[in-house]
Amino acid sequence: MKINYRKALEKTARQMILVHRVNTLIKLVLRTIMRNIKVGHSGIFLFDKDSGCYIVKVSRGPKNIKIPENFTRIEKESPIIQYFIDEKYKIFDRDFLLYNKLDAYSKKYNKKYIVNFLKQLKIQMQDLKTKVCIPGFFRDKLLGVLFLGEKMNKQGFKAEELSFLSLLSYDVVMAIQNARLFEDLNNQLETNKRIFFDAVNALGTAIETKDNYTGGHIERVVNYSIEIAENLKNIDLDKYKEFKENLIIAALLHDIGKIGIPERVLNKKTGLNNKEKEYIRKHPIFGIDILDSIKEYGDAILGIKHHHERYDGKGYPSQLRGNQIPLIASIVAVADAFDAMTTNRPYRKALTRAQAIDEIKINKGKQFHPKVVDAFLKARKYEEQSG
């Protein structure tokens, strides 16, 4: 059956646009090549800027002949690379390198340095069991080299096959460059997130040094919050990663507003009077004032602002009720309350875990969101079983 190379090329190009991971992209390309040209093995040497070498990241073919991935590398000075980039060798056809043409080149260009170079090139291609190499240039830089082993039918490569490979190589280079830029952007975003979370943790530590009773409180609230979230069934799994990030930030910083409350109030060893209670009730608003500029994590900010709302509408600062309260805030509210009840305070002893769980149950649908309470109880049940 005659292969429509143009159609295969267009289909692959459309698929490549949607792929943003380099290795996945290469797998797609090699699968296309092996399906259409049916070679014994194939792969791509990609330039690695850290090592300064060209490394095989992905290869395809039977184990006994395919090139080992991540171990096989060639230097910039190797014959295959020099064939495509050294001006001395532009006398050759550099759109592709054919093993079967090397002997003819040696006869045509019989200068000693060329004959020696072609001999080294032949040895390297034999070692790699490679019959064809196709360069992939991005502007004037050799980004990679596509290599193919012998065809399954043992025949030579046709002109239309080589043309297909050259055009494919051009598309591949552009797609790989785009994928690398996308990966670099994602890596930078992840780095920025780590820096942000480090800063968040530092703020959490600052809160705990101000409020004597909260030693370890924030870490526990984070852990309880994650356990509750993982036992909720109504969170869209596609959005769970983002939800979890916002939840962690809210749990870490839920009490950040206490930085604005005098220590004499925070650490008072007797019960608070009405004025002092009013001061304490302002800490979610103080927290929002501190974090107002962090627009990217708006859901986390709402979680911090409303973690003292009550399901029955009698909480603060906005007297939200029921599902008006953001889910993140409802989760942090249960986690925060449970840890507060099981922690010694200057003015009262801690409840046992069983007593605190009973209090959570009693206040289901009153202070706490019923579904969040159910998820909390499920998490505690698993804890008891594993304990």
Mean pLDDT across the stretch 252-279?
77
3-state secondary structure of 191: helix
Is the alpha carbon torsion for 31, 8, 171, 75 positive or negative?
A: positive
Give backbone dihedrals phi and psi of 72, rounded to 5 degrees, phi first: -80, 120
**Mean pLDDT value of segment 31-55:** 86
- Under the banding of pLDDT at 50, 70 and 90, the label for residue 19 is low
Residue 143 has pLDDT above 70, yes or no: yes
Question: Which has more pLDDT, 219 or 212?
Answer: 219
The least confident of 296-300, 305-309, 336-340 is 296-300
DSSP 39: B
Residues of the chain with CATH 1.10.3210.10: 189-386
Residue 320 predicted with pLDDT over 70:
yes
Domain 5-181: which CATH number of 3.40.640.10, 3.20.20.70, 3.30.450.40, 3.40.50.300: 3.30.450.40
pLDDT at 1 over 80: no
Please state the rounded mean pLDDT for residues 84-102.
90
Task: Please report the pLDDT score of residue 114 as a whole number.
Answer: 92
Q: Which CATH class is domain 189-386?
A: mainly alpha
Question: What value does the mean pLDDT take over residues 114-118?
Answer: 93
Q: Distance between CA 264 and CA 293 in Å, rounded? A: 29
pLDDT tens digits, 168-183:
777 777 777 777 666 6
The whole-model pTM stands at 0.53
Residue 8: pLDDT band with limits 50, 70, 90: low
Residues 353, 361: Cα–Cα separation, whole Å: 12
Q: Where in the chain is the domain with CATH 3.30.450.40?
A: 5-181
- With H, G, I as helix, E, B as strand and everything else as coil, classify residue 254: coil
Burial (Cβ within 10 Å: 0-12, 13-18, ≥19) of residue 330: buried
Burial bucket for residue 101 (CB in 10 Å: 0-12, 13-18, 19+): middle
133 phi and psi angles, rounded to 5 deg: -125, 135
Tokens of 177: 């460059």
DSSP 260-283: GS-HHHHT-SS---HHHHHHHTTH
Res 43 pLDDT > 60: yes
Residue 234: pLDDT band by 50, 70, 90 thresholds?
A: low
What is the pLDDT, as a whole number, of residue 131?
Answer: 93
Mean pLDDT of the chain: 82
In this predicted structure, what is the pLDDT of residue 97? 92
Structure tokens at 38: 């049916």
DSSP state of 135: E
Phi, psi of 307, deg, nearest 5: -75, -5
Residue 64: pLDDT band (50, 70, 90) is low
pLDDT for 313 equals 96
pLDDT digits (tens, 9 = 90+) for 323-365: 999 999 999 999 999 998 998 776 678 899 999 999 999 999 9
Residue 137 confidence (pLDDT) above 80: yes
Angle CA 174–60–119, to nearest 5 = 85
Average pLDDT over residues 121-136: 92
pLDDT at 240 over 70: yes
Give the separation between CA 268 and CA 277, rounded to whole angstroms.
Answer: 11
Which residue would you say has higher pLDDT here, 61 or 313? 313
pLDDT, residue 77, reads 94
Q: What is the pLDDT of residue 214?
A: 53
